[in-house]
Structure 1
C-alpha cells in the first residue's frame, strides 16, 4: 500500500472526525486489523501495547500514538486502561460518509481502496513515528480532550469546533515532524556529492574512511547518513555503480574481461566475474552474448 505522494495540493486538507471518545477497559486484546482512516490516541491511565507492522510499542501514561491508514496493527491493554482517542480523516473525500471504523479481524481492504485515506508518511519530507514525542504534549492533550467534549454534541457549532480542533491537531503533528527545507537541501547536497565522488572513483580503491573524509563527517555518522539516504552501505552502493558500469562496457564494447575489471575497480577478472554473477545471476560472458 505504500506510495510516494507528490504534492499536498492534490489532496485537500479538510479534517473529519468520525469517532472521538474515551475508551475504558481492563485487560483486553484486539486482534489484527487495518484502518481506512487515522487513529490518534493518548494513554491517560494503564499500560498499552501497540504492535504495528510487526513492531511492538509500549505506551505508558502520558504517551501519544498515531496509527495511519492501511497499517496492520493490534492493541493490548494491561490493567485498567483509559485511552482518549479519535478516528478521523485528514483529507477530503467525497466518499467520506461511506467510510467507517474497521473492526478486529478486518485486514483486507481491497474492496474499500477508494475509501482509504492518504498516509501522512507518503508525502515528501514528512515521517511520523507510531509513538509520538510531541514538543507540546500538554497542548496536544488538551486539544484532544476539547475535541471529545465537542464531539458529544450534535449541534452545528459543536461539529464545526470539532473539525477546527482536528485541523489544529494536524498542524501540530506536521510542525513536529515535517523535515525542514534546509535539512532536505543538506541531504540532497550530500547525496549528489557522494554519488559524484564514487562515480569518479569506480576504478580506484576507496575506503569508507576516504568517503567520510570527503563528506566532512566522522566515519560512524557518515555510515548512518549514507544508509538513511541510499538504503545500502557505502560499499554496496559502490559495488552497484561498478557493476552498472561493467554492464555498459560489456554491452557497448569489445573490451576483454580483465580490462573491464580494471576499469571498474575489481581486483581481477575472476573477482569481477564472481561479483557480476552473484548480483545479476549470469556470467559476464553470458550477459555479453
Structure 2
C-alpha cells in the first residue's frame, strides 16, 4: 500500500554511491535493509534474491530492483557476474553520510534521516523486485556506461554519471503507468509561468503568448491559470508589474519613465495612474513617504 508521496516534495537528483561489475562464485549475503536503491542485472551465473520472504530467481539478462528499507538477502550459484549500482534518486543534504549497508543491518532506525523514499510510494508507480524493462538493451547499456564513467573522479565524469542515473530512473519509470500528480503538475505550471512572465515583464504579453508557452489552448489555459493563481492572466500580470514597480521604488532611485519601461507600462503616465488606483498614492508620493519613514 502506497503512502501517496508527492514528487514535488522530493527533488530528483541522483547520487551514485557504488557502481561496478560484482564477480563472485557460490556466495551468500545475509539479510539487510538498504538506505538507498540497488539495481542489478545478471550477466553470468544464477542468482537468488529473498525479498520480504519471497524468493526471486534471476537468470542471465534479467533485472532486479531492491528499494530502500525492504528486507532482503542474496545467494549466487556458480561463477556470477552482476553489474549493479547503489544510488540515491532523491536529493538529501546528508547524502554523503549515507552508506551501503552490510549483512546483518536490518534495523535502520538510527539512520532514518538518510533513508530514501521508495519509488513505489509515489502515485501510479509499482515496480516489482524482478522486472522486465520495456527497453532492456538500453537499460543494460546505461548501466554499463555508468560503471565505465564512474571509475573517473573528475567533474565531467561526475556530471555524466548523474545524467546516466537520471536516464536509468526514466527507464525504470517507463515500466509504470505515466505518473501524474495534480499537485506536482500545478507547481510546475506555476513556476514556469512565473518565470516566463518575469522574463517578459517589460514586453507586451498576450494571453495567446502565455497559452502557447504553456502548451495549452487559450480556453484551457485560462481555466488552468485561474485554478492555480486565483485570478485571470491579465490581472495576475498587472499585479506582478505593480509588485516589481513597487520593489524598484523601494530600492532604486530611478525615473518614473524608466520604471514604467522596465515593468511593462505604456509610459510614466500610465504607470502613475495604475499605481495610484491600486495604492491610493502616486509613485512619487509613495517613494517620498517610504524615504521619510526610513530616515
1:175 deviates by 1.4
Within 5 A, what are the aligned runs for 1:182-221?
none
Which residue number corresponds to residue 25 of structure 1?
24
Structure 1, unmatched stretches of 5+, are: 182-289
Q: CA deviation at 1:3?
A: 5.4
Indicate the residue corresponding to 1:138 in structure 2. Answer: 137
Higher-Rg member (1/2): 2
How far apart are the structure 2 equivalents of 1:3 and 1:107? 21
Cα drift, residue 5 of structure 1: 3.3
Output one character per residue of 1:6-29: Cα deviation in whole Å (capped at 9) or x when no partner: 310000000110000000000000
Matched, 1:117 2:101: no
| CA separation of 1:112 and 1:3: change in aligned 2, threshold 3 A | farther
1:53-132 → structure 2 map (5 Å cutoff) = 53-132=52-131
CA RMSD of aligned residues (A): 1.2
Cα deviations by residue, 1:207-233 (Å, 9 ceiling, x for unpaired): xxxxxxxxxxxxxxxxxxxxxxxxxxx
Matches of 1:156 and 1:73, distance apart in 2 = 34
| CA offset digits 1:34-76 (Å, max 9, x no partner) | 0000000010000000000000000000001000000000000
CA distance in 1 between counterparts of 2:6 and 2:14 reads 17
Q: CA–CA distance in 2 between the matches of 1:92 and 1:178?
A: 23
Q: Structure 1 segments of 4 or more deviating over 6 A?
A: none
Residues 88 and 180 of structure 1: is their aligned pair in 2 closer, same or farther, counting only changes over 3 Å? closer
**Separation in structure 2 between the aligned mates of residue 39 and residue 83 of structure 1, nearest angstrom:** 12
Instruction: Tell whether 2:141 aligns with 1:149.
Output: no
Q: Secondary structure at the match of 2:149?
A: helix
Give the whole-Å Cα distance in 1 for the aligned partners of 2:53 and 2:20: 27
Match of 1:40 in 2: 39
Could you tell me how far apart the structure 1 residues matched to 2:55 and 2:148 are? Answer: 31
Cα separation, 2, equivalents of 1:114 and 1:180: 26
> d(CA) in 2 for partners of 1:82 and 1:61?
9
Alignment: residue pair count = 180
Identify the residue that residue 176 of structure 1 maps to in structure 2.
175
- Structure 1 pair 8–24 and aligned structure 2 pair: CA distance change class (3 A): same
Cα shift at 1:179: 5.1
TM-score normalised by L of structure 1: 0.61
Partner of 1:221: none
